[in-house]
Amino acid sequence: MMINIKSLSEIELMRRAGKISKNALIVAGKLMKPGTTTAEVDHAVEQYILSEGATPSFKGYGGFPASACISVNEEVIHGIPGDRVMQSGDIVSVDVGACYEGYHGDCAATFAVGDVSEDKKALIEVTRQSFYEGIKFARPGYRISDISSAIQAYAESQGYSVVRQYVGHGIGTSLHEAPEVPNFGRPGYGPRLIPGMTLAVEPMINMGVYDVRVLSDDWTVVTVDGMPSAHYENTILITDNEPEILTLSNEICEICYL
């Protein structure tokens, strides 16, 4: 499949979509308190995205029924929001996307709810840092698997496992474009990175084994051993030098792990 290289005008639209996406994630993060339902978080995310003149990328995508994927504890990704009440000690992964004038932004983070154990906090931080270790190689001349290998090496060096069954992806006028961006593998493989590529890099890191399964709702992915999982994602642009993170926000907030 062909990789779409973005023009300057397309990149500007993706910056706008990315900013809306990240601000929607901040909206979600501010609601991460005991007693809040995942449906309430989803509603707030949707209302924010619509208020910015964008549309939720996920709602209706492949039949997904909500605007945000909200995954709690052992849920890795694609959790469907509902009447589940968040409890102190939970970790909650929120994945959001916004489409602005035909271009998508996509980002995710895992939040601590109330009084969370130190091992869960460490999992969240390692997952976040694994993204930054990976994008050290998101520069012209490197290959996709150089990002992948760096993510895996860092996460495993900290004692965690990397989900194999789900990967990052290209992004633009489609939510998922070529190329795939795995979070594992040997360096030196895959397409060579060139300026104008836009990628959603998203480590999914487990406290236990890397194996996962899909629940009967056909969406929610959970760890097979019931151990916690964390997720961190940003949309990035390959430039002539360091990568630009398109899902950034200027809003000042006290939310960790963004």
What tens digit of pLDDT does each residue of 163-183 get?
999 999 999 999 999 999 999
pTM over 0.75: yes
Judge whether residue 240 has pLDDT over 90.
yes
pLDDT in tens, 136-155: 999 999 999 999 999 999 99
Minimal CA–CA distance to 70: which of 87, 56, 91?
Answer: 91
Judge whether residue 255 has pLDDT over 90.
no
Q: What is the mean pLDDT of residues 37-53?
A: 98
Please state whether 89 falls in left (phi above 0), alpha (psi between -120 and 50) or beta.
left
- How many Cβ atoms are within 10 Å of 7's Cβ, its own excluded? 10
Report the CATH fold assignment for 8-245.
Answer: Creatine Amidinohydrolase (3.90.230)
Average pLDDT, the chain: 96
How many whole angstroms separate alpha carbon 215 and alpha carbon 202?
Answer: 21
pLDDT in tens, 78-116: 999 999 999 999 999 999 999 999 999 999 999 999 999
Judge whether residue 17 has pLDDT over 70.
yes
Output the pLDDT for position 252.
Answer: 45
Output the pLDDT for position 257.
Answer: 53
Per-domain boundaries in the chain: 8-245
Output the pLDDT for position 248.
Answer: 82
Decide: 210 and 57 in contact? Cβ < 8 Å. no
Output the pLDDT for position 250.
Answer: 58
Output the pLDDT for position 236.
Answer: 98
Judge whether residue 206 has pLDDT over 90.
yes
Q: What is the mean pLDDT of residues 222-235?
A: 98
How many whole angstroms separate alpha carbon 225 and alpha carbon 56?
Answer: 32
How many whole angstroms separate alpha carbon 78 and alpha carbon 214?
Answer: 9
How many whole angstroms separate alpha carbon 145 and alpha carbon 7?
Answer: 24
